């Protein structure tokens, strides 16, 4: 079933990106979208796009069929307290707060409620998110509705909740990790003679093409790497030097550090 009215609580990086992705998708009318945030100035831009805006979270949540909690993890409890009177059992509640479990949410909202934990990334604004979804027992009957909604905003997978911390690191933090590679390559490009703008253009298109090589074929990355690394050639010299300096190991250790941060707080 297609979702009716959506309310997003929190108009920050992610709340705003979700609204922009929804508007771009045309999946639902701007008038069926509501966003709430205490800051009036951030709401004005959304109002201009025909989206309903509120500084009062409870008012914003009242009319919704589906409420997305897009506030920082440490604001989730306070926000749920504010909107609880509007969280009737027929409403779908979606939290994107990192590290806030379904059982944490059920304690605050109620065991009978329909609750999803969803982990998107900032590319949701361009309908290019990787979004991981899990839900509680009541959520099963509404999974298609929620997955179809996020399918409009990129790619989705339904996962066991125990994998949600790993999903957060790979897919949500992953945007920043990938862009650090891009930045580092740009810095190298500038040292070799390109201006920053040209270095960014060349690096970004190269990364996009490399990603498409594995996405379009399903090939393992090493299969495509093998096609680039001429024996005694230039690429293997650079790759081996990166590995001597700990490239793969640094990436893995960074992922695990982020994972431990979610798991241990």
Ligand X SMILES: NC(=O)C1=CN([C@@H]2O[C@H](COP(=O)(O)OP(=O)(O)OC[C@H]3O[C@@H](n4cnc5c(N)ncnc54)[C@H](OP(=O)(O)O)[C@@H]3O)[C@@H](O)[C@H]2O)C=CC1
Ligand Y SMILES: O=C(O)[C@@H]1CCC=N1
Q: Which residues pair with 93 in a beta bridge?
A: 67, 115
Residues 160-179 that bind ligand X (CB under 6 A): 172
The answer for residues whose C-beta is within 8 angstroms of residue 156's C-beta and 6 or more apart is 131, 132, 133, 147, 150
- Pick from 61, 172, 186, 199: which binds ligand Y (CB under 6 A)? 172
Residue 130 interacts with ligand Y (CB under 6 A)? no
Tallying the residues shown for the chain, one arrives at 265
**Close Cβ partners of 185 (under 8 Å, ≥ 6 residues apart):** 199, 203, 206, 207
- Distance, CA of 98 to CA of 243 (rounded, Å): 31
Nearest distance in Å: CB 263, ligand Y: 13
d(CA 9, CA 15): 7
- Residue with the two structure tokens 């594995």: 214
Q: For the chain, first and last CA: distance in Å?
A: 37
Minimal distance, residue 239 CB to ligand X, in Å: 29
- Contact residue for ligand Y among 173, 189, 199, 203 (CB under 6 A): 173
Contact map string, positions 98 to 127, toward ligand Y, x by CB under 6 A: x-----------------------------
Q: What is the CA radius of gyration of the chain?
A: 21
Task: Tell me: is residue 70 an annotated ligand-binding position.
Answer: yes
Cβ at position 110, least distance to ligand X in Å: 20
- Kindly indicate which of the ranges 18-26, 117-125, 150-158, 219-227 contains the residues binding ligand X, using the contact rule CB under 6 A: 117-125
- Looking at the Cβ atoms of 230 and 260, the one nearer to ligand X is 260
By beta-carbon proximity to ligand Y, the closer residue of 5 and 261 is: 261
Site string for ligand X, 25-64 (x = CB under 6 A): -----------xxxx-----------------x-------
Annotated binding residue at 9? Answer: yes
Q: How far is the CB of 177 from ligand X (least distance, A)?
A: 11
Task: Considering the complex, state which of residue 84 and residue 220 has its C-beta at the smaller distance from ligand X.
Answer: 84
Q: Consult the annotation and say whether 10 binds a ligand.
A: yes
Residue 79 or 139 with smaller CB distance to ligand X: 79
Query: Residues at the annotated binding site?
Result: 9-14, 57, 70-73
Query: Residues at the annotated binding site for NADP(+)?
Result: 9-14, 70-73
Instruction: Please report, as ranges, the residues that interact with ligand X according to CB under 6 A.
Output: 9-15, 36-39, 57, 70-73, 75, 78-79, 96-98, 119-122, 172
Instruction: Please report, as ranges, the residues that interact with ligand Y according to CB under 6 A.
Output: 98, 168, 172-173
Query: Residues at the annotated binding site for NADPH?
Result: 57
């Amino acid at each position: 079933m297609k979702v009716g009215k959506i309310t997003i609580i929190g108009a920050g990086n992610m709340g705003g990106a979700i609204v922009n992705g929804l508007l771009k998708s045309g999946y639902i009318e701007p008038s069926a979208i509501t966003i709430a945030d205490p800051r009036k100035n951030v709401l004005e831009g959304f109002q201009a796009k025909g989206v309903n805006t509120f500084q009062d979270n409870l008012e914003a949540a009242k009319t919704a069929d589906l409420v997305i909690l897009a506030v920082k993890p440490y604001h989730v409890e306070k926000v749920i307290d504010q909107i609880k009177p509007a969280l009737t059992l027929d409403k779908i509640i979606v939290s994107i707060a990192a590290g806030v479990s379904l059982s944490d949410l059920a304690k605050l909202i109620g065991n009978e409620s329909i609750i999803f934990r969803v982990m998107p990334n900032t590319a949701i604004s361009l309908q290019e998110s990787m979004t991981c979804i899990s839900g509680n027992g009541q959520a099963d009957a509404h999974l298609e509705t929620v997955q179809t909604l996020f399918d409009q905003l990129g790619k989705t997978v339904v996962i066991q909740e125990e994998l949600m911390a790993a999903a957060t690191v790979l897919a949500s933090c992953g945007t920043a990790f990938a862009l650090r590679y891009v930045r580092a390559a740009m810095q190298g490009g500038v040292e070799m003679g390109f201006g920053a703008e040209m270095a960014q253009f060349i690096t970004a298109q190269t990364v996009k093409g490399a990603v498409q090589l594995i996405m379009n074929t399903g090939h393992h990355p090493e299969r495509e790497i093998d096609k680039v690394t001429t024996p005694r050639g230039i690429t293997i010299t650079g790759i081996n030097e990166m590995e001597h300096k700990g490239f793969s190991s640094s990436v893995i250790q960074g992922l695990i550090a982020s994972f431990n941060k979610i798991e241990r707080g």
